Amino acid sequence: MSTATSSFLSVRDLKVHFPTADGIVKATDGLSFDLEKGKTLGIVGESGSGKSVSSSAILGLHRGSSAQISGEILLDGVDLLQVSDEEMRRRRGLDVSMIFQDPLSAMHPYYTVGNQLMEAYRVHNNVSKKAARVRAIEMLERVGIPQPDRRVDDYPHQFSGGMRQRAMIAMGLINNPGLLIADEPTTALDVTVQAQILDLLQDLQREFDSAIIIITHDLGVVAEMADDVLVMYAGKAVEYGPTKDILVRPEMPYTWGLLSSVPDVAADTSSKLVPIPGNPPSLLNPPTGCAFHPRCPHVAKVPGDLCRTVQPDLVTGRQGLGHLKRCHLADPDTVYANEVLPEFDPVLADELADELTAADSNEKGLQ
């Protein structure tokens, strides 16, 4: 891992608060992460956990609203929260761009797809309309739209869902931005189309060496796309680290819950789904202590009233540097291997238990 200052994107203690008549909604409350060029970060969490709010803060989309934003967003060494509106407008689309979930509502229905792509290009490049059109066709071809020279004059409604998403990606990448934020890019799509779009994103990332933040609630997408994962709950990061560590040996009960509540196409069908009880908390009045404690089935394992009273810090987990978690549980690995995993995936549970005992005996051997 490199130091924070040399990262391409470095978010430090980002807070996005919305004052409302009922009080302050802390949509994002102290979020920090780093992202290198050519790497992908997956942000997962339920609706209302602050995933999208944080990413729109990076894009400066809360400027002009009543949102109170603090912290640092360093992109290539420049703090995006400090630059002027004019400067932010210059960077938006050029250095950072975004792909939205629903391309039908994110594209203007009155303009042709080509027109919208050309506009995105001409805002940042002083070129003729003709040259911009050539570039738009080139991008449409790059993202795999058949007959791009004809389709460039179509309106968004004439495209199918998958093609619209491709056009969105073309628009996002037309200026070769260093950072691409994809907010649920495939949620509205069918699985076969989703596979096509994810392939495309990965090819383009390799080609342009861009950093990608992919926001999703689908852990399968994260597993296949992301290098790092950030799990958010009630505006805070609750677990953060390399994808393999987080998804194979998660240490935070919320992540366990996310994993256990999704059926797997290969899992035993007699195993019951283990949902997370209750509902996500209100951000107006988040629970005291650990925000997850009202829904957490493991509160009793922590001595005293710690979960209810003290907010756990984001500390290094048991798997060493780079895996951060926000939880009071003293021995999460054992709980996960013995109690959580057997309920929804007995096969994996056995594997993990074996691994743990092996690791244990190794440690004893070393001593």
Partner 1 sequence: MTTDELTDRGAGSALTEAKPILRVEDLKMYFPVKSSGLMRRTIGHVQAVDGVSFQVNAGASLGLVGESGCGKSTTGRLITRLYKPTGGSIDFDGRDIAKLSENDLHPLRRDVQMIFQDPYTSLNPRHTVGSIIGAPLAIHKVVPKNKILSRVQELLEVVGLNPEHYNRYPHEFSGGQRQRIGIARALTLQPKLLVADEPVSALDVSIQAQVINLLQDLQKEFGIAFLFIAHDLAVVRHFCPEIAVMYLGKIVEIADRDTLYQRPHHPYTQALLSAVPDVKQAKVGGRRERIRLEGDVPSPINPPSGCRFRTRCPIAQDICARVEPPLLQVGPTHKVACHFPGEMGKHPEKPITPRLLGVDDSGSADLAAGPATELPTGPGYSDTWFDLKNNTMGKA
CB of 169 to partner 1, least distance (A): 16
CB of 167 to partner 1, least distance (A): 13
**Cβ nearer to partner 1, comparing 303 with 320:** 320
CB of 6 to partner 1, least distance (A): 24
CB of 276 to partner 1, least distance (A): 4
**Cβ nearer to partner 1, comparing 85 with 190:** 190
Q: Nearest 5°: phi and psi at 330?
A: -80, -40
**Cβ nearer to partner 1, comparing 128 with 269:** 269
Residues 6+ apart with CB under 8 A from 175: 93, 94, 97, 120, 121, 124, 125
CB of 229 to partner 1, least distance (A): 9
Percent helix, strand, coil in the chain, to 5, is 40, 20, 40
Kindly give the residue spans of alpha helices, DSSP state H, lying in the chain: 51-58, 85-91, 103-106, 113-124, 129-142, 148-151, 161-173, 191-208, 219-225, 243-248, 253-260, 306-309, 332-335, 341-344, 346-366
CB of 365 to partner 1, least distance (A): 25
**Cβ nearer to partner 1, comparing 85 with 350:** 350
- Mutual angle of helices 113-124 and 161-173, in 10-degree steps: 10
Residues at the interface with partner 1 (CB under 8 A): 46-47, 146, 160-163, 190-196, 198-199, 202, 217-225, 243-244, 246-248, 257-267, 269-270, 272-277, 279-280, 348
**Cβ nearer to partner 1, comparing 66 with 192:** 192
**Cβ nearer to partner 1, comparing 60 with 185:** 185
